[in-house]
Amino acid sequence: MNFFKDIAWVDAGPIEAIPAPGARQLRTSEGNIALVKTSSGDFHALQDACPHRGGPLSQGMVYGERLQCPMHGLNIDLHSGEAVAPDQGCTRTYPVRVEKGRVFVGLSAIAECGCACAAAA
């Protein structure tokens, strides 16, 4: 089975368009996505809605492999989309790839984190 077979890749722009570390909002047909660049230059994509009260994660602070929501400070693991204990909850993640200096986010192949948010969708 080819995991990437049915993914619609959206061109999110040149890799240098996002400072490292930093994040920006990507508007897509599947809703807003927080596209995040870590200080090491890795990219991650998360649903742009905090599991606490829907705060815009794309406006959060990126540190290490985590993002802190700008509203009340909940911390999200960029790999899993899950809140870092003692916080709870999770947000959906999306596949990301870099090709020829541009970032692409995969839609319609949402990675499930395995926590309660997957069942709620």
3-42 mask for ligand FES (x: CB under 6 A)?
A: ----------------------------------------
Please answer whether residues 35 and 12 qualify as being in contact, where contact means their C-beta atoms are separated by less than 8 angstroms: yes
Residue number with CB closer to ligand FES (10 or 82): 82
Binding range to ligand FES, per CB under 6 A, among 22-30, 46-54, 98-106, 109-117: 46-54
Tokens coding 13 = 């722009």
Report the length, in residues, of the chain. 121
Amino acid identity, position 119: A
